Structure 1
Amino acid sequence: MIMRIFQVLTKPGKEEEFGRFFHETAIPLMKGTKGIVQVLPGAPRPDSPREFSFVMVWESLDALKAFVGDDYQSPHIDPAEAELVQARTIKHYDLVEG
């Protein structure tokens, strides 16, 4: 399984607007996506009020690629959120089950 960590830094002053997108659009979309085993959305904390994240566990690299395409190492965002986002990062790991 593949663990995908996606982090977003919103533009200053766009936290509330991105928060609505995150809760109303992004979380339901990811939770309903074929090939995802688990979705762990992370909302901002007081010491990092502009940072949002997702930790996603995918069945396989093929399942991830079926959703985002072969360029899975680039952080893809919805066009609706592009004007709200200052920076984004994406990391992938092989999931270690203990």
Structure 2
Amino acid sequence: MIIRIFRAGIAPDRAAEFENFLRTTALPLVREQDGCLSVHGGVPLEGTDTTEFCVVMVWRDEAALRAFAGDDWQQPHILPEEEGLVLTRDLHHYRSTDSVLL
């Protein structure tokens, strides 16, 4: 299994717009992908001064992730609807400890 963590810094005046996009478009899109075992969106805590959001995904394997994200799956991408909302983006991948043979 592969854990994929995407973080996006959002323009402060557009955070509510991005949260709506995340809930109504991005998360449902990822959830319907074959090989996506789970996906969770993270929004900033109230009372903090950050506008960084995250999406944590667990994929069955690299083949499933490639089918979704393409051959450049290790690079962060944004959908056209996110253009102008996302100021920074960061992406990391990890092997799940549940899939490590001891």
- Normalising by structure 1, what TM-score? 0.93
TM alignment of 1:1-98, pairs within 5 A: 1-46=1-46, 47-97=48-98
Counterparts in 2 of 1:91 and 1:48: CA distance versus 1, 3 Å: farther
Separation (CA, whole Å) in 2 of partners of 1:39 and 1:19:
15
1:64 CA drift (Å): 0.3
Residues 15, 49 of structure 1: 8 Å contact kept? no
Separation (CA, whole Å) in 1 of partners of 2:7 and 2:49:
12
**Structure 2: which 5+ residue stretches go unaligned?**
none
Separation (CA, whole Å) in 2 of partners of 1:21 and 1:88:
16
SS at match of 1:57: strand
1:48 CA drift (Å): 4.6
Separation (CA, whole Å) in 2 of partners of 1:60 and 1:22:
24
In our comparison, the structure showing a higher alpha carbon Rg is: 2
Separation (CA, whole Å) in 1 of partners of 2:76 and 2:33:
17
* Equivalent residue letter for 1:89: D
Question: What root-mean-square deviation, in Å, do the aligned CA atoms of Structure 1 and Structure 2 show?
Answer: 1.4
Separation (CA, whole Å) in 2 of partners of 1:48 and 1:95:
31
How many residues align structurally? 98
Counterparts in 2 of 1:86 and 1:70: CA distance versus 1, 3 Å: same
**Structure 1: which 5+ residue stretches go unaligned?**
none
SS at match of 2:75: coil
Separation (CA, whole Å) in 1 of partners of 2:75 and 2:53:
17
